[in-house]
A and B are shown apart, each in its own frame.
Chain A
Amino acid sequence: MTELYQQQRAMRAMRRAAMQRGVIAILDIGTSKIGCLVLRFDGPETFRAADGVGSLAGQSAFRVIGAATTRSRGVRFGEIDAMQETERAIRTAVQGAQKMANTRVDHVIATFAGANPRSYGLAGSIELAGGAVREDDIARVLAACDLPPIGEGREVLHAQPVNFALDHRTGLSDPRGQIGNRLSVDMHVLTVDANVARNVLHCINRCDLELAGIASSAYAAGISALVEDEQELGAACIDMGGGSTGLSIFIKKHMIYADSVRLGGDHVTSDISKGLQVPWNTAERIKTFYGGVYATGMDDRERIEIGGDSGDWEKDRRTVSRSELIGIMRPRVEEILEEVRDRLDAAGFEHLPSQQIVLTGGASQIPGLDGLAPKILGQQVRIGRPLRVQGLPQAATGAAFASAVGLCLFAAHPQDEWWDFDIPAESYPARSLRWAVKWFKDNW
């Protein structure tokens, strides 16, 4: 735990160094595509738009100067499966983005969808000595949280304080300077499989890049696809990717829960492939061109040539009706949404004041999903697209880029995490020099 803490601190320092240099890359390692964006930071508010739109989430502080996407290779369920292949795909994407940006990037912030994210709510409290809450009190209260048994081989990816309480007052976002006797904190900790995270780290290091941050893709998608009031009032973002579907619940602009379902658009494609006996690529093509979840009478008459190159005329000239295709796709989509529903129920989503659900990610573009999803997830469902950021190519503004765009915002304005606060003096070895220095700094 302490090791990862140090690692996260190092990443944060690296991110600061990258911001100083002004160029940082975003790498979205997905199951169906790997996207790389190169961001340039030119100081705050340099690109303030003329249309009066100011900084909503800090997206006006940077602009995208390079973007490249490549078909993902060697990734399954959002986890790296064949490292050499993934490394090649990352190299392709990074090189393309560097070429477009005409600059070299050394620091990269990465995101991935898989690795079984699991959320924990932590609580900690301390007695305040001097009345007012000081900087080191925050660090102490964060350190006072008891970490539940997260399991063997798992590591903490996010650890964000989401709520502070001072005596009987709760819901404080910043207790510093306030007076009280007892300071409590609620912290949201997201853990992932350590091996998966290490594989990502290794892949990125193999590409001569330094990792300046790592985030869960469900979290990143939530940042970009949820609008500000949804984040404030409570909403769930469902990022329907290729290999896995991530979901994150936001309230008061903090992520309080994240999970993922290991089902995604690729399963729909593989169902089509198996059901229609066509190659994977053909199935993917048929899905994106003719796919849907609601069959109408018109769809019975629309015949789709599914082709083939077996040499057998009968097999190569097969056609299916669109309703047959929909009949294959719909159960799988329903299954995904039902899984998501289960996870939301498990998280206690129904207790939230606002139950907005935003569907995003590549698989959310299935026509008719906005009609199917409310039947399973509840009435307040919309299809979300990521926030617009400066300089993003038109091709990368679709729902499939929600987590990449969210990661841009995360790079510009990272939420305070546990490792952003100073280490409390108590955790140093007693009577060490650093302890003394720290003590003096805090008390004088």
Chain B
Amino acid sequence: MQPLRAPRADARARHGAAPVRRDPAPSRLRYRFHRLWLTPLYRSLMRVGVPTFLILTAMGWYFSNPTNRYAIAEKTAEFRRSIETRPEFMVKLMVIEGASPVVDKAIRELLPVDFPVSSFDLDLAGMQAVVAALDVVEAVDIHIRPGGVMQINISEREPALVWRAPGKLELIDASGHRVASVTERRARPDLPLVAGQGADAEAAEALALIRAAGPLGARLRGLVRVGERRWDMVLADGQMILLPEVSPVAALDQVLALDQAQDLLARNVTHIDMRTPQRPTLRLAEPAVEELRRIRSLSLE
């Protein structure tokens, strides 16, 4: 059995030193505050409403000062810049692939980028649009390669024809798109010549005709688009083959077959009119006409 002993604190209290015992009762104020705190509306107000209000007020006050706003914007920009200018994101040089030296030089002039530059500052889509706007460029792909290299892959248009348009002389590709201008025909003697308005729109047909006219060899001078609807083939010595609107290649084949069989083009004929393929018509040169009339008159007599 434990002997009953009063705690030491009591013994000390008896001897006069601070006999204050803790009162377990809440003070009136604490009691009221506790009751207020247990009120649901008040509690939700204090736990959600007041902190929200205080934070919003503080933020509002802070942002109402323009200096603070600028400071924050500056800090943000600085931080952004510090990330952007990390070496991982820097682009140090530009590589252009698939471009001829002339085009290469033109592109470098078109895209004045001061390397090294952050890849965040490069407007790849814009640059792609700028390069793609070049006539000579058929397709362009710009991307940033690991290692800080901006790579521009270019496929150039192949000039297929020389087009003598009114007032200009241009190279066009097989689809009729302009590739470049030339100053004179002799600059590209390897390419066939087409002329006339709208010739570029039918470049594919022109190429087919030129392919079909292979047997003519060097005698072929070029093609002339007439009235933006049909072709005239011009040969050396001013001979012309007038081709129809529809299926000109078949008409040309017909002419070539005639030439092979009867050596048509070697005769003194200025124009071979195939505009109506069922009724090919020849225009003879002046002496030939006279000769023909003489022969006919001979036969008449």
Contact = CB atoms under 8 A, between A and B. Distances in A.
B34 A98 contact: yes
Interface string A408-437: 000000000000000000000000000000
A163 interface: no
Contacts of B31: 91, 94-95, 207-208
Interface string B5-30: 11000110010000000011110100
A285 interface: yes
Given A70-B24, A91-B28, A91-B31, A102 B4 contact: no
B46 interface: no
Contacts of B1: 304-305
A174 B172 CA distance: 117
Contacts of A103: 38
Nearest to B3: A305
Interface string A352-375: 000000000000000000000000
Contacts of B4: 282, 285, 305-307
A388 interface: no
B227 to A, nearest CB: 97
Given A208-B32, A307-B4, A309-B10, A91 B26 contact: yes
Interface residues of B, number: 20
A89 interface: yes
Contacts, number: 47
A95 B34 contact: yes
Residues of B contacting A: mostly: loop
A92 B25 contact: yes
A92 B26 contact: yes
B268 interface: no
Contacts of A315: none
B29 to A, nearest CB: 11
B211 interface: no
B168 interface: no
B45 to A, nearest CB: 14
A102 B38 contact: yes
Nearest to B1: A305
B52 interface: no
A102 B35 CA distance: 10
A99 interface: yes
A184 B11 CA distance: 67
A346 B62 CA distance: 82
B28 A98 contact: no
Interface string B227-259: 000000000000000000000000000000000
Interface string A267-307: 00000000000000010010000000000000000001111
A307 B5 contact: yes
Contacts of B34: 95, 98-99
Interface string B116-144: 00000000000000000000000000000
Contact of A98 (B2, B3, B35): B35
Contacts of A99: 34
A104 interface: yes
B24 A92 contact: yes
B25 A89 contact: yes
B3 A307 contact: yes
B39 interface: yes
A374 B26 CA distance: 44
A207 B27 CA distance: 11
B38 A98 contact: yes
Interface string A81-107: 000000011011011001100111000
A5 B157 CA distance: 110
Nearest to B23: A88
Contacts of B26: 91-92, 95
Q: Which of B10, B23, B35 has the most CB of A within 10 A?
A: B35
Contacts of A91: 25-26, 28, 31
Interface string A295-329: 00000000011110100000001000000000000
Contact of B11 (A208, A285, A309): A309
Contacts of A207: 31
Of A70, A88, A94, A207, most B-chain CB atoms within 10 Å: A88
A103 B1 CA distance: 44
Interface of B: 1-6, 10-11, 14, 23-26, 28, 31-32, 34-35, 38-39
9 contacts: A70-B25, A88-B23, A88-B25, A91-B31, A92-B24, A104-B35, A208-B32, A305-B1, A309-B6
Given A70-B24, A208-B35, A307-B6, 19 more contacts: A70-B25, A88-B25, A91-B25, A91-B26, A91-B31, A92-B24, A92-B25, A95-B31, A98-B35, A98-B38, A103-B38, A104-B35, A104-B39, A207-B31, A208-B32, A306-B4, A307-B4, A309-B10, A309-B14
Interface of A: 70, 88-89, 91-92, 94-95, 98-99, 102-104, 207-208, 282, 285, 304-307, 309, 317
